[in-house]
A and B are shown apart, each in its own frame.
Chain A
Amino acid sequence: MSVTESQDPKVLDVRPIPPRQKHPTIFATFDALNVGDSFVLVNDHDPVPLRYQFQFERPGQVAWEYLEQGPELWRVRISRLAA
Chain B
Amino acid sequence: MARADQSIGCMTILLSSDALPRAGFDELREAVQRRALGGLELTVGAGQAHGVNPSLCPILQNEHLSCVPGEAGVRWIQPSAECSLPMLVVWAGAASQIGAGLLLRRPEPDVPGTTAYIHGTDSDEAREAARWAASRATFTSWEVAPSNYDPDLLDEVLAITFPYLAHVRLLGGGPEPEEGVAGEVMMRLALKGYTGTIALAPSSPKYEEDWARWLLKKRGWGCGTAADKAARRESIQVKEEA
Contacts and interface: CB of A to CB of B under 8 A. Distances in A.
Interface of A: 2-4, 6, 9-26, 28-29, 32-33, 39, 44-45, 47, 49-50, 53, 68, 72-73, 75
17 contacts: A11-B5, A13-B198, A16-B174, A18-B178, A18-B222, A20-B178, A20-B228, A20-B231, A21-B182, A22-B183, A26-B224, A29-B187, A39-B190, A45-B220, A47-B225, A53-B225, A73-B36
Nearest to A22: B224
Contacts of B198: 13, 16
Interface of B: 4-5, 7-11, 13, 35-36, 170, 173-178, 180, 182-184, 186-187, 190-191, 193-195, 198, 200, 220-228, 230-231
Contact of A15 (B8, B35, B177): B35
A16 B191 contact: no
Given A20-B228, A23-B224, A24-B183, A4 B4 contact: yes
Contacts of A50: 224-225
A12 B182 CA distance: 11
A72 B195 CA distance: 21
Contacts of A10: 190-191, 193
Contact of A12 (B175, B187, B222): B187
Contacts of B194: 11
A69 B51 CA distance: 37
A9 B10 contact: yes
Nearest to A2: B4
Contacts of A68: 4
A9 B187 contact: no
Majority secondary structure, A binding face: mixed
Contacts of B11: 11, 13
Contact of A19 (B4, B9, B227): B227
Given A11-B190, A22-B227, A72 B10 contact: no
A46 to B, nearest CB: 10
B226 A16 contact: no
A9 B193 contact: yes
B18 to A, nearest CB: 14
A25 B183 contact: yes
Contact of A17 (B35, B186, B226): B186
Contact of B226 (A4, A19, A25): A19
Contacts of A44: 35-36, 220-221
Contacts of A26: 224
B210 to A, nearest CB: 11
B195 A49 contact: no
Given A15-B35, A25-B184, 19 more contacts: A4-B7, A11-B11, A11-B190, A11-B194, A12-B186, A12-B187, A13-B11, A13-B190, A18-B174, A18-B227, A19-B223, A19-B226, A19-B227, A20-B228, A21-B182, A24-B183, A53-B225, A73-B36, A75-B4
Given A32-B191, A49-B225, A17 B182 contact: yes
A45 B182 CA distance: 19
